[in-house]
C-alpha cells in the first residue's frame, strides 16, 4: 500500500452528511442566489466591494441558518465560511481585474475551476471539523 494505515475517529456518515449539506448550500449561494450584479461586480477593477460582500453575505446567511437548524453550537461556522469565501472570491476577482481576463481566455476558466475547487475544499474542511465534533 502506498499510503500508511490511518485510523479515524470521524464518522463517515456524519462526514458525508455535512458534505452533502454544505455542497447543496454552496450551489444555492454561488449559482441560484448570485445575481448578475454580484457575479460581474465582484470582479471589477473598482466598485467590487459591495457586490462581493453581498455575495459572501448570502453564504453567511445560508451557512448560519444551516448551523442553527442542524448544529446550533456551531453557529459561528457561517462567519468562517464568509471569511474564507471572501478571500477566495477577492483573489479571483483581483486576478480577473488586474490581468483583464475575460471568458474568452483559458485563464478565466482555470480561475473559475480553481475558485470552485477551493470552495469545495473549504466545505470538506468544515465537514471534517463538524463530523469530528458532533
Mean pLDDT of 82-94: 98
Say how far apart CA 133 and CA 41 lie, in whole Å.
38
Q: What is the pTM of this model?
A: 0.90
pLDDT at position 11: 85
So where are the chain's domains?
A: 22-132
pLDDT, tens digit, for every residue of 7-34?
A: 667 888 999 999 999 999 999 999 999 9
- DSSP code, position 7: -
pLDDT at position 23: 98
pLDDT, tens digit, for every residue of 96-127?
A: 999 999 999 999 999 999 999 999 999 999 99
pLDDT at position 7: 61
- pLDDT surpasses 90 at 43: yes
Please give the share of the chain, as a percent, with pLDDT higher than 70.
94
Helix (H, G, I), strand (E, B) or coil at 44: coil
Residue 85's pLDDT band, with cuts at 50, 70 and 90, is very high
Q: Is residue 118 exposed (0-12), middle (13-18) or buried (19+ Cβ within 10 Å)?
A: middle
- DSSP code, position 31: I
Amino acid at each position: 500500500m502506498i499510503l500508511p494505515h490511518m485510523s479515524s475517529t470521524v464518522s463517515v456518515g456524519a462526514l458525508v452528511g455535512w458534505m452533502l449539506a454544505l455542497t447543496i448550500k454552496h450551489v444555492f449561494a454561488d449559482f441560484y442566489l448570485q445575481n448578475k450584479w454580484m457575479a460581474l461586480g465582484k470582479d471589477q477593477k473598482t466598485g467590487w466591494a459591495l457586490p462581493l460582500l453581498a455575495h459572501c453575505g448570502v453564504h453567511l446567511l445560508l451557512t448560519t441558518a444551516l448551523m442553527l437548524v442542524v448544529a446550533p453550537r456551531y453557529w459561528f461556522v457561517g462567519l468562517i465560511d464568509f471569511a474564507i469565501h471572501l478571500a477566495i472570491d477577492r483573489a479571483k476577482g483581483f486576478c480577473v481585474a488586474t490581468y483583464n481576463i475575460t471568458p474568452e481566455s483559458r485563464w478565466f476558466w482555470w480561475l473559475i475551476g480553481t475558485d470552485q475547487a477551493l470552495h469545495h475544499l473549504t466545505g470538506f474542511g468544515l465537514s471534517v471539523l463538524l463530523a469530528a465534533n458532533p
